Chain A
């Protein structure tokens, strides 16, 4: 067991998958010799060779398209798109083909592939490097959308994504890549997909979030605890298909829910969760569901990104509003 950052945990999982499964092929721009723009694939080509870890020409659409063809031929493509803003051209292949090949051929051809993409802002990156468009991807039937919030989860979830028989978009929170270290055992053990993780149990209100935003959520929960308020924290982990049951169970207990995400509010994934609560937890709710989100604006360049992203103060304000209802 060793102390690893999230990006090192991703590397470890890729290493383990390449070791265990000869059908796994890692490819993308700069992932081979260079080891990836964030070093997520560092050393993999040196160790496994250029038939398993491939540098591609610079073409995102092509990366998505290649993965579909390779998956159809029994390989397990694990590809990297460097930044979420560069995923847009891949959406065509994801939505039109990867997500529906199994249906289109009635199970004859499937696309077990993993598309790793960095997610979110807060790292002072150039334009298009700080997007959070997870709900856009989660809207597509047939895909899995997964986002880890810690090194240990990144390791286990990436292994689960690679072993999953369906296409998975694996979002890696850029802000968490090197923020904290955790003991990660290279056990080959996967972390369950399609299930929320209750990070902290509580009784007064439920905080739901995912990815890097859980950092602020945890901090806010700490502040609340000092004031004698017990918050339950749910890490969503898999956005599609998502585990409504765990959230409903939590809100049925607490009666109050604050959803926190970095993505813009309108049609953000918080809206889906709020709708589910309205449908199935109406009688348990003691207060309107609160959403603390990015604004419906273009993701600003670094000088304003902190103003855009939900802060601990904004989260606490929403919690206070929710708690004010008696």
Chain B
């Protein structure tokens, strides 16, 4: 509202932001559930996907703490967004992730040993062998640049009149950057088959949301660019998946781009080099565990008699053994040869660089 209202002022536009949630934190439905919830196998595999994401995350932290992995950005508490997003996508869609979406990447076909290899400091981890993900983007360490890459991917899909969409995830901090505004703007004006998922985990390293923006919601930033927007409970995997399916369907129908704000919480430090007790209260974090996306999904499955303690334990054991063998494969990967630095700088090695390569290889044998 302006500071004063003149008699001649007219309202020329009004906007609203809606919030979607199906399950409360105890796993009880708040509203009639989407149809896909009747597919018990799907519900179970979504639950498993979230568990896998969490266990993989814990393994990465463990490997880092024991000196066997580099700095790692954890995603504890954000599993519902990763799996809700990925489970709604088709293989032919393109994922353009940030660095906290291992759950989505694994769901789509990235191998855990590949992600470990990348975080272990080796570009080969981004080579993605599975044909289902050969066109997916690598992890983006820079914040927000990739929103524009996703717009470019979606523009290519649109120009080629393909029945596909691009999905880009970034955090609350990224919404302060110009790249995101430019991406929202072009997505709107070009009606791109593109979905932005803002993973609002309340913290950008040490900066809390209220220091990041004065906007009431992050979803409303999409309204400025003419996108369809929605805020969802990012810890309710049913809400995330439902919102994504709707947005993907709109994108494929040519109805344009969407922006979804998933409201979640980063339960761990920013990354393994961070100590969040320096800037946030442990009590705050403790209180947030009540909204844990896995806990709520388990309660929901149990209420449908689709789950038991026995099955839970069996699933955890199965996941642990998968992760352990992926970690073994990662740890058994021989370090790259110096040649790897030169191999892909250009499609063909230029003459000047060839001399430097010889120098590097010579040094390796000294």
Which residues from chain A sit less than 8 Å from chain B, CB to CB? 25, 51, 56-57, 59, 61-62, 64-75, 77, 92-93, 96-97, 101-110, 141-142, 164-166, 194, 241-245
Contacts and interface: CB of A to CB of B under 8 A. Distances in A.
A243 B354 CA distance: 12
Given A62-B183, A75-B156, A97-B145, A106 B344 contact: yes
B138 A109 contact: yes
B178 A61 contact: yes
Interface stretch (B80-88, B127-135, B290-298): B127-135
Contacts of B186: 56-57, 59, 62, 66
A302 to B, nearest CB: 30
B182 A96 contact: no
Given A106-B123, A108-B128, A194-B351, A96 B135 contact: no
A301 to B, nearest CB: 28
B152 A108 contact: no
Given A59-B186, A61-B148, A106 B156 contact: no
Given A102-B347, A108-B134, A72 B153 contact: yes
A107 B350 contact: no
Interface of B: 94, 96, 123-124, 126-128, 134-135, 137-138, 142, 145-157, 159-160, 166, 178-179, 182-183, 185-186, 189, 340-341, 343-348, 350-353
A75 B350 CA distance: 24
Nearest to A105: B126
B149 A68 contact: yes
A66 B154 CA distance: 9
B121 to A, nearest CB: 13
Contact of B343 (A64, A106, A166, A245): A106
Contacts of A245: 351
Contacts of B160: 73, 75
B344 A69 contact: no
Given A108-B126, A166-B347, A241-B352, A72 B182 contact: no
B352 A242 contact: yes
A194 B159 CA distance: 32
A49 to B, nearest CB: 11
Given A59-B186, A69-B155, 9 more contacts: A56-B186, A69-B96, A69-B148, A73-B156, A75-B159, A97-B142, A141-B345, A166-B347, A245-B351
Contact of A59 (B96, B155, B182): B182
Given A65-B179, A102-B345, A107-B343, A72 B126 contact: no
B124 to A, nearest CB: 6
Contact of A65 (B134, B183, B343, B344): B183
Nearest to B124: A106
A14 B24 CA distance: 58
Contact of A70 (B126, B153, B350): B153
Contacts of B353: 241
A71 B166 CA distance: 14
A291 B37 CA distance: 73
Nearest to B354: A241
B145 A102 contact: no
